[in-house]
Amino acid sequence: MKISARNMLKGKVKSVKPGMVNTEVTVVLSGGEVITSVITKESAERLALAEGKDVYAVIKASNVMIAVD
Protein backbone atom coordinates (compact mmCIF):
# COMPACT_ATOMS: atom_id res chain seq x y z
CA MET A 1 0.00 0.00 0.00
CA LYS A 2 1.32 3.44 -0.94
CA ILE A 3 -0.57 6.65 -0.25
CA SER A 4 0.29 10.34 -0.14
CA ALA A 5 -0.75 10.95 3.49
CA ARG A 6 2.23 11.24 5.82
CA ASN A 7 0.45 10.54 9.08
CA MET A 8 -0.25 6.82 9.32
CA LEU A 9 -0.67 5.37 12.79
CA LYS A 10 -0.79 1.59 13.19
CA GLY A 11 -3.17 0.13 15.73
CA LYS A 12 -5.82 -2.46 16.50
CA VAL A 13 -9.56 -2.07 16.25
CA LYS A 14 -11.03 -1.79 19.75
CA SER A 15 -14.66 -1.49 18.70
CA VAL A 16 -16.92 -1.15 15.69
CA LYS A 17 -20.33 0.47 16.21
CA PRO A 18 -22.43 0.41 13.03
CA GLY A 19 -25.26 2.88 12.54
CA MET A 20 -27.82 3.33 9.78
CA VAL A 21 -25.37 5.17 7.47
CA ASN A 22 -22.06 5.54 9.30
CA THR A 23 -19.90 3.33 11.51
CA GLU A 24 -17.84 4.50 14.48
CA VAL A 25 -14.47 2.74 14.61
CA THR A 26 -12.25 3.01 17.69
CA VAL A 27 -8.56 2.15 17.28
CA VAL A 28 -5.97 1.65 20.03
CA LEU A 29 -2.44 2.65 19.05
CA SER A 30 0.71 0.89 20.31
CA GLY A 31 1.25 3.50 23.04
CA GLY A 32 -2.29 3.06 24.36
CA GLU A 33 -3.70 6.19 22.73
CA VAL A 34 -7.21 5.87 21.32
CA ILE A 35 -8.44 7.33 18.03
CA THR A 36 -12.08 7.26 16.95
CA SER A 37 -13.15 7.68 13.35
CA VAL A 38 -16.56 7.81 11.70
CA ILE A 39 -16.61 6.18 8.27
CA THR A 40 -19.39 5.02 5.99
CA LYS A 41 -21.05 1.75 6.86
CA GLU A 42 -20.21 0.52 3.36
CA SER A 43 -16.49 1.21 3.89
CA ALA A 44 -16.46 -0.59 7.24
CA GLU A 45 -18.07 -3.64 5.62
CA ARG A 46 -15.70 -3.55 2.62
CA LEU A 47 -12.68 -3.41 4.96
CA ALA A 48 -14.17 -6.24 7.07
CA LEU A 49 -13.45 -4.28 10.24
CA ALA A 50 -13.74 -6.25 13.46
CA GLU A 51 -12.38 -6.07 16.99
CA GLY A 52 -8.69 -7.02 17.12
CA LYS A 53 -7.98 -6.41 13.42
CA ASP A 54 -4.73 -4.57 12.60
CA VAL A 55 -5.44 -1.27 10.85
CA TYR A 56 -3.87 2.08 10.06
CA ALA A 57 -5.41 5.39 11.09
CA VAL A 58 -4.54 7.66 8.18
CA ILE A 59 -4.75 11.37 8.93
CA LYS A 60 -4.87 13.81 6.02
CA ALA A 61 -5.74 17.38 6.94
CA SER A 62 -4.73 20.70 5.52
CA ASN A 63 -5.46 22.46 8.82
CA VAL A 64 -5.36 21.46 12.45
CA MET A 65 -6.93 24.02 14.75
CA ILE A 66 -6.37 24.48 18.47
CA ALA A 67 -8.92 26.23 20.72
CA VAL A 68 -9.17 27.17 24.37
CA ASP A 69 -11.92 28.65 26.56
| Position 31 in a domain | yes
| Position 64 in a domain | no
Buried b (16+ CB within 10 A) or exposed e, 12-28: ebeebeeeeebbebbbe
* pLDDT score for 32: 96
* pLDDT score for 66: 65
Look at the chain and report how many structural domains it folds into: 1
Ordered mean pLDDT values, 10 residues apiece, the chain (69 residues): 83 96 95 94 96 92 72
* pLDDT score for 67: 74
pTM of the full structure: 0.83
| Position 12 in a domain | yes
Q: Which domain holds residue 36?
A: 7-59
| Position 18 in a domain | yes
Instruction: Indicate which CATH number applies to the domain containing 44.
Output: 2.40.50.100
